[in-house]
Structure 1
Amino acid sequence: MSNAYDKAHELKEALAETQEFKSLYDLHRQIDADDIAKKMLENFRKLQLDLQQKQMQGVQISEEEAQQAQQQFELVSQHELISKLMDAEQRLSVIITDLNKIITEPLERIYGEPPQEQ
């Protein structure tokens, strides 16, 4: 019988070899080398994190905060490197979501099918 941890390490290596991961890695390096892009992305991520923390704490996000987040998103989306990075993150996220579904299939045998998203 194979060791699940060994298989997980194999999966980690396989994921690191995907074009999606390599693209994301390269884009991060490019952004790190671009002071403007790096600062823009840091500011956007900080704003995202702050808003997520408020939501998790049950704090209502104000209209002003929502507008600020939308403006920040539009600003960073216009930067070519950041836009490419966000696309690459999304592509890798799809792969990870698919892998998670595959990995958790045995649990469905125990707990049944998860409810379908609407």
Structure 2
Amino acid sequence: MINIYNEINSLEVAFRKTPEFEALEAAVKVVKEDEEALNLFKNFRKVQIDLQKKQLNGEDILEDELVYAQKAAQLAQQNTKITAMLQAEMNLSKIIEEVNRILIKPIQTLYEEF
């Protein structure tokens, strides 16, 4: 009998060796080494997380919070190191989406028979 967790752990090791993961890892390092970029990104992430928490809790998001979030996003996107990191993350996300499609395929096949 196969141990799915051993297989998934092997997949994780392979995932870390992909050029896309290595590119993201390098881009994260570049951002972390630049104090301005790091602070911009930390603020951007904090604003995102705070808004997501409010949404999950069913709280209204105020207009000034949205304006602040947009400004934080704009500042982050103007930093070339952050945009390079976000682009690397999007490239890696494509692999994750494909792996997810492959993992879900057996379930989809089961339901196609109905």
Q: Provide the TM-score with structure 1 as the length reference.
A: 0.86
Amino acid at match of 2:35: D
Structure 1 alignment gaps of length 5 or more: 114-118
Structure 1 segment 47-58 matched on structure 2, within 5 A:
47-58=47-58
Q: What does residue range 33-48 of structure 1 map to in structure 2 within 5 Å? A: 33-48=33-48
| Count of residue pairs brought into register by the alignment | 112
**Residue 82 (structure 1) aligns with:** 82
Aligned CA RMSD, in angstroms, stands at 1.5
Q: Residues 12-64 of structure 1, C-alpha deviation per residue, up to 9 Å, x if partnerless?
A: 11111111100110111111111111111111100000000001111121221
User: Given the alignment of the two structures, is residue 69 of structure 1 paired with residue 105 of structure 2, yes or no?
Assistant: no
Q: Return the letter of the residue paired with 2:59.
A: V
How many angstroms does 1:2 deviate by?
3.7
Aligned mates of 1:95, 1:55 — CA distance in 2? 28
| Unmatched segments (≥5 aa) in structure 2 | none
What SS class does the counterpart of residue 60 from structure 2 fall into?
coil
In the alignment, which residue of structure 2 is the partner of 1:20? 20
SS in 2 for 1:104: helix
Counterpart Cα distance in 2 of 1:109 and 1:87: 33
| Alignment partner, residue 9 of structure 1 | 9
TM-score by length of 2: 0.89
- Give % identity: 36
